[in-house]
Structure 1
């Protein structure tokens, strides 16, 4: 029996099936993204359960993010070797089982090990799921489908901390993990029913050296970002890991350019639209990755708000994300990718810069309005970059492009925290150098200036896009 014959029949047309697969993968993405942030507010309760200090539990938070980063580069090879449906389903199962076991953990060492296991499942789930969507979606439906895949990365970091706090306050921290069981089982059922079992004709050898270099670089960069996110960041240690990560990254690039069967194929950067989404898009993602780190500091440390009121303000970002989603396809079809990326990118940078002018005396409605506009623009920019990345990519190279895209995405979002922490440190130095220490939240407000500049810097690459790039995706297919 062939692989195609073995796939359960689903009586849906191609567009409806692609949409269903996208919703399934988006749900899996949401679980994966949420678990990276949802336990941050539950750390004190988990630490009490294990009889350790809250700071000792940081490694439990980090273990998930570290393994997520390390194993993403091998996701493409694993999917090619065993088939995307099997790998995606196995990743879902592993993630779900590890989640339940995390909820049952009775000690720190056990919890850390299980969080790492969760990270392995998440590392396979995200890029393989995106690859399935890219291969099953007609080009003319790519904008709306990518918009569906974009919202988990935008929403989960915003909803995670307040949701974790709510569950911990009114139930037990263990339910943070137990809730993944019904969601995971449901996703697993639909994964096996919907995702076709396509297998590649050629099996490539595993690039062990490339994995060591790329995985090591991601490990160091992710650990440095995690160190910088702490209240009292160990700057020397974080700087050493950033430097080591950069060195390993340089060695990885040199090796990948020379290898016969590279783990990550850098030749995909020869496609201009993909290169823009990697280079300029990564700078944008770094800037956006700094926002969830900086906003709570600005509101709680700078303005003196409590966690609840700070979280309620940040919900405005979430509202903007959701409000933009239904309009994304229509706007891109009306104006095209390049104009939207440039104009929307400029508005996004201005919304980041506007955060530098907020003070404790700023009316709540105005703060919420600035955050809402930021949510609108980052949702649009995320979708536009994530879609145009694959606009001109041949199907034969889609898996290689997806692996590089997923790796770059993880690095950029992780370095966003490092960018935010660097901005705060520079802001602290500038406030003393300029004699404005008494200005409320001065260091955090100056950090937003740096973040806005990085976002603008990414637009230089976008400016070089040819007019009409990606328009074949943004125009409706003729009947």
Structure 2
């Protein structure tokens, strides 16, 4: 059968969106193994580099809620090109950053571009493809998103060891330029016929709350930030969050309708995602740092050690849906959350005397259990949303995922700095006890979030979980 011009253009659009998604997910993980080398180059402590990760995730979290409205207002082609431009310029500024402050600001710019790549690309695919072809199309786009985290740590370590950390960002320049040219030719210019009024005040309150709370947690790691400032940031962040909630109650079209939280599975899933991911999101930051700072691994070898995590995560995907169908969401999430917390705490056992095969096994098992956690949490959060709330619910879910990454790294960095001062105050003291204490605390926080999933309704027996979800949501 001959391939029509429309089918060919649709296929090229999928490749364009998939490459943008790959760039976004790759840069979320590629930097983790390069932090010690960056710290040495910039004259900073490796234990103070968490702001580089936080800035990227926080910029994405704050812009995701506005991405759909921006695309409807200005058109998918223009916004996608602007996103690629921001991402590319941010990458260039990162590569030539002379200080940690410069690098952090450039990462925020890079994250601002990355925040719009997938949502705007997904919107273009939704409008370019008929409904019956949308799910296979998005499944194609999702594959590079799985490959990015798999390649990120290893590629980052290889570039650090055989070139320099600057190339982690410089490789984005040609990809961004080629992607921009392709977007001008292939990205359709969809825009809404009528654009609803955007809740700018509500968006400002929510964004300010996320930024201030994240900065406060990051300030705990930066001992040069006074405790009074940290306390003020937390207080004002909570005030902004409360103000947003009170405003949303009476606003006719809030940024996120409060009707979302009348759906039990969504409210439990969203809150559970936030707190459970705080622990798991800190691991890609903590583990490579521990391997390099305390166990003497090179950046490349530290990146290679993260491969079992990704492989374990991919292997367990096949059993996620059958397991949930047999045991139900509530039982799976309660038991699995406790297990994830225990595995995080078990990384306190990492030492130079631990056999390599045991380290690899531990990392692979963590990757598998963590992947099952993500699959079940994502599915239970979205499975019961009615059609009118599906779009806003998915947007809020995406925002929570990125926010939890920012909060997780900030919290782990704060605890690591605190325990370093308490357990290894001397300049030559080993930071290993501080890492061990941090892993135990983060593990306990994660395990305690199982109580949130306890609020799900009891399952209706084997094979009849509370609610049903397509296998695609568990993939």
The alignment yields a C-alpha RMSD, in angstroms, of 4.5
- In structure 2, the partner of 1:445 is 436
- In structure 2, the partner of 1:5 is none
Question: In the aligned structure 1, how far is the partner of 2:188 from the partner of 2:321?
Answer: 26
* Residue pairs, 1:269-308, within 5 angstroms: 269-296=261-288, 298-300=290-292
**Deviation per residue, 1:315-355 (Å, 9 max, x gap):** 43233234334555565566654454344334323322322
Counterpart among 25, 29, 43 of residue 30 in structure 1? 25
**Deviation per residue, 1:270-300 (Å, 9 max, x gap):** 2233222211111111011222333245445
What 5-or-longer segments of structure 2 have no aligned partner?
460-464
**Residues 1:209 and 1:95: Cα distance change in structure 2 (over 3 Å):** same
Question: In the aligned structure 2, how far is the partner of 1:416 from the partner of 1:390?
Answer: 22
The alignment's TM-score, normalised by the length of structure 1, stands at: 0.75
**Deviation per residue, 1:135-181 (Å, 9 max, x gap):** 8776987996797486368547xx34x53443244335443333223
Note the C-alpha offset of 1:222.
Answer: 3.2
Counterpart among 215, 231, 242 of residue 234 in structure 2? 242
Q: 1:289–1:412: 8 Å Cα contact kept in structure 2?
A: yes
* Residue pairs, 1:293-372, within 5 angstroms: 293-296=285-288, 298-300=290-292, 310-325=302-317, 328=320, 337-372=329-364
Q: 1:349–1:456: 8 Å Cα contact kept in structure 2?
A: yes
**Residues 1:46 and 1:297: Cα distance change in structure 2 (over 3 Å):** closer
Question: In the aligned structure 1, how far is the partner of 2:56 from the partner of 2:82?
Answer: 18
- In structure 1, the partner of 2:446 is 455
Question: In the aligned structure 2, how far is the partner of 1:91 from the partner of 1:336?
Answer: 40
**Residues 1:102 and 1:451: Cα distance change in structure 2 (over 3 Å):** closer
Q: 1:45–1:168: 8 Å Cα contact kept in structure 2?
A: no
- In structure 1, the partner of 2:462 is none
* Residue pairs, 1:44-443, within 5 angstroms: 47=42, 53-54=43-44, 64=56, 67-84=59-76, 86-100=78-92, 103=95, 115-129=107-121, 148=143, 151=146, 155=150, 159-160=152-153, 163-185=155-177, 187=179, 199-200=191-192, 202-228=194-220, 234=225, 236=227, 237-296=229-288, 298-300=290-292, 310-325=302-317, 328=320, 337-424=329-416, 441-443=432-434
**Deviation per residue, 1:188-247 (Å, 9 max, x gap):** 5776788776544542223222232122222223333444556x6747254543343333
**Residues 1:80 and 1:20: Cα distance change in structure 2 (over 3 Å):** same
3-state DSSP of counterpart to 1:389: helix
What 5-or-longer segments of structure 1 have no aligned partner?
1-7, 48-52, 433-437
Question: In the aligned structure 2, how far is the partner of 1:90 from the partner of 1:220?
Answer: 26
Question: In the aligned structure 1, how far is the partner of 2:294 from the partner of 2:101?
Answer: 35
**Deviation per residue, 1:357-389 (Å, 9 max, x gap):** 444433222222112111111122223322333
**Segment drifting more, 270-279 vs 64-73:** 64-73
Question: In the aligned structure 2, how far is the partner of 1:45 from the partner of 1:425?
Answer: 18
3-state DSSP of counterpart to 1:10: helix
- In structure 2, the partner of 1:471 is 468
**Deviation per residue, 1:15-49 (Å, 9 max, x gap):** x99986884564143244246647635525864xx
**Residues 1:107 and 1:292: Cα distance change in structure 2 (over 3 Å):** closer
Note the C-alpha offset of 1:471.
Answer: 2.1
**Residues 1:439 and 1:169: Cα distance change in structure 2 (over 3 Å):** closer
The alignment's TM-score, normalised by the length of structure 2, stands at: 0.75
Question: In the aligned structure 1, how far is the partner of 2:236 from the partner of 2:281?
Answer: 21
Q: 2:159–2:167: 8 Å Cα contact kept in structure 1?
A: yes
Question: In the aligned structure 2, how far is the partner of 1:337 from the partner of 1:190?
Answer: 42
3-state DSSP of counterpart to 2:6: coil
Note the C-alpha offset of 1:110.
Answer: 7.9
Aligned length: 453
3-state DSSP of counterpart to 1:29: helix
